[in-house]
Structure 1
Amino acid sequence: MVACICMWIHLATDLSTEYPFGKAICRVGSFLQVLSVTVSVLSLTAVVLNRFLSAITRTFSCVTQTRYKLTIFLIWLIGVVLSFPWLLYTKLVDFDWAGGHERYCVEIFPSKSSRTVYVTFFTCCVYAAPLTFMLILATVTLAHPSHTPSAPTSQMALRMKRRAQQMILVVLITFIICWTPQQATLLWDVYRDPDIPKPTNIAAIKYTAIYLAYSNSAINPIIYIVFNDCFQHVLWKFARCKIRPNAEIRVTPASAQVCSVISVSSS
């Protein structure tokens, strides 16, 4: 969603002298960006919590399809609710100056205090607190000693599990590095003293922060390739044109190549 929609809206806006789109995109663009952050944080929280419970509590059962679907539904529902103010208060504003006409897409909350409360709540409770909680859980999960099995199949399954835990931690740290500057600029914007002139380089800082956040979508696939043996295997097959479009990919830990690719003929 970030790579396909939000990034291109910002890029077109930055390359134009005024906002180039209409009211609908103005409202939806900011809403989708906040929605993507919220859903990403909540999804990571669910994954990290599941890994933690699986590693610490041996009796913890795997997530069923029903729970899986319910979790996804709740994540998106919460994301839409928390992001809705941007859909409600983002507006396209026209300014007529003596020197010409300008158009901006801005967030106009009912009051400055309401915007301050919302941004503070989002940054602290939806962003910072869950990420701190996840960092603790991911670190504890990775440091938790695992029973070393004797069977080769079990050893491979354990190796895949450990690499998955490492991958989650790296994904989490990368997300924090990429998105924290953008969240910090939003927080600075609501608490800055309006009587003090803005720094001359603030536009460049905000520009760098937003595109650093967008770069997270490009970095994640690289992380998956590095830590996921099955992903590497399938990608190498695709690169050598050895996988048909209708192939079915199955993970088989007992296999020497971790996963297998099965061609399925269409009826």
Structure 2
Amino acid sequence: MAESQISSNITRNVTNRFVQPPWRVAVWSVAYSSVLAVALFGNLVVIWIILAHKRMRTVTNYFLLNLAFSDASMAAFNTLINFIYATHGEWYFGEAYCRFHNFFPVTAVFASIYSMTAIAVDRYMAIIHPLKPRLSATPTKVVIACIWVLAVVLAFPLCFYSTTRNLPRRTVCYVAWPHPAKDSFMYHIIVTVLVYMLPLVVMGITYTIVGVTLWGGEIPGDSSDNYQGQLRAKRKVVKMMIVVVVTFALCWLPYHVYFIVTGMNKQLNKLKSIQQVYLSVLWLAMSSTMYNPIIYCCLNSRFRTGFKRAFRWCPFIHVSSYDELELHATRLHPRNQSSMCTLSRVDTSVHSNDPNQGTRKSAKRQAPSPERG
């Protein structure tokens, strides 16, 4: 009975509401296509930079790789489909893709934000507890696998209850909850807490402690001669990740607020302008997939060099030997760093303990300065 009433309301109230003037459809098409192009290409370049260069295969970068993969996947499989369905109100893609369409965004967002959370915890352990054991490559991959398993478990109800329905003038894709009004609202509250509020609280606490330590005191256990260089390197990594987290939080906040507010006040769904509001908050949420490569390029010298190499076919992009050294210089084992610094007075390089910074060659060999990274 409830499902029949919902279908009746959709037929009566939604069909005409999705008809938009051509100019508006064109504007939204350009906006969503831009997100798709930038997110897909930018994140694929990030994946290539990490996989193609051994120096980039660090714990932090493995999580960034997972983040880039989830963002690229969501951009490829959901951004354009979301736009088409939200614009026309007609589902053209069959029931199987309907299930995937509702299931995958929650999975990808979960993988994204918990990859950021894992990086925050790793940075916290590296800076606040530097003498405790750190994650190696194999445990990192296990953590990433666990993140995806938990993401699938959380999103499974959307896949299980998703279906299509043929209405008189169109086909719709929706989640047929057993108790639509109650189940839909409660599920979104759970998702908001687990995929937005909880990880942001964890990251807020860890980065606050790390920030106070890096900008307001000394790094515990760090008394090497290269303290200032190491401090700058660690600050840059933390600063980059804070920008990534804040960008994610701002992009997804209106989306979560929209569903909570419309869930509490069903009458808002009948407003003619609600489609434009939804397209706006959806675009902002989907745009979160395209900002990270830009942030990496602007705030990390190695990623910037990687993007230079990816775009070296452009006539105005020049990759110097200095840039090549940034990605290909051999990293020293941490146990050998202090002794290597004393081998020669000529070699004044800074060896960073930060896993994202690696080892620097001497200034006389034209290696990157300790400020870069």
Kept after mapping to 2: 8 A contact 1:233/1:257: no
Deviations 1:190-220 (A, max 9, x none): 22245x7633322111111111111111111
Confirm or deny that 1:120 pairs with 2:193: no
Secondary structure at the aligned position of 2:170 is classed as strand
Superposition deviation, residue 58 in structure 1:
2.6
Residues 60 and 215 of structure 1, relative CA distance in 2, 3 Å threshold: same
**1:1-267 matches, cutoff 5 A:** 1-16=73-88, 18-96=90-168, 101-111=169-179, 112-144=181-213, 145-147=217-219, 151=225, 155-194=228-267, 198-241=270-313, 249=328, 252-255=358-361, 256-257=367-368
Change (3 A) 1:187 1:22: same
Taking structure 1 as reference, are residues 237 and 38 closer, same or farther at Cα in structure 2, changes over 3 Å only? closer
Q: 1:66 to 1:258 in 2, by over 3 A?
A: farther
Give 2:127's aligned amino acid: A
TM-score relative to the length of structure 2: 0.61
Give distance in 2, aligned partners of 1:30 and 1:235. Answer: 33
Deviation at 1:252, TM superposition (A): 4.3
Distance in structure 2 (CA, Å) of the matches to 1:190 and 1:17 = 19
- Name the % identity: 27
How big is each residue's C-alpha offset from its partner over 1:120-172, in whole Å with a ceiling of 9 and x where there is no partner? 111123321221221221122122133486645x5444322210100111100
What SS does the corresponding residue of 2:295 show, helix, strand or coil? helix
The answer on whether the counterparts of 1:89 and 1:109 sit within 8 Å (CA) in structure 2 is yes
**Is contact 1:156-1:254 (8 Å) kept?**
no
TM-score when scaled to structure 1? 0.84
Farther-moved stretch of structure 1 (220-229 vs 133-142): 133-142
Counterpart for residue 265 of structure 1? none
Q: Say whether the 8 Å CA contact 2:98–2:164 is kept in structure 1.
A: yes
1:48·1:138 contact (CA, 8 Å) conserved in 2? yes
Could you say if the C-alpha distance between residues 156 and 21 of structure 1 is closer, same or farther in structure 2, counting changes exceeding 3 Å? same
Structure 1 stretches of 5 or more lacking a match? 260-267
Residues 15/193 of structure 1: CA separation in 2 closer, same or farther (3 Å cut):
closer
Residue type of the alignment partner of 1:71: V
- Name which one, 1 or 2, has greater alpha-carbon Rg: 2
**Alignment partner of 2:208: what SS?**
helix
Q: Is the 2:162–2:174 Cα contact (8 Å) retained in structure 1?
A: yes
Q: Residues 239, 151 of structure 1: CA spacing in aligned structure 2 closer, same or farther, 3 A cutoff? A: farther
Work out whether residues 83 and 279 of structure 2, in 8 Å CA contact, stay in contact via their aligned partners in 1: no
State the distance in 2 between where 1:141 and 1:252 align. Answer: 20
Q: Which has the higher contact order (CA 8 A, sep 6+)?
A: 2
The amino acid that maps onto 2:196 is Y
What count of residue pairs does the alignment treat as equivalent?
Answer: 250
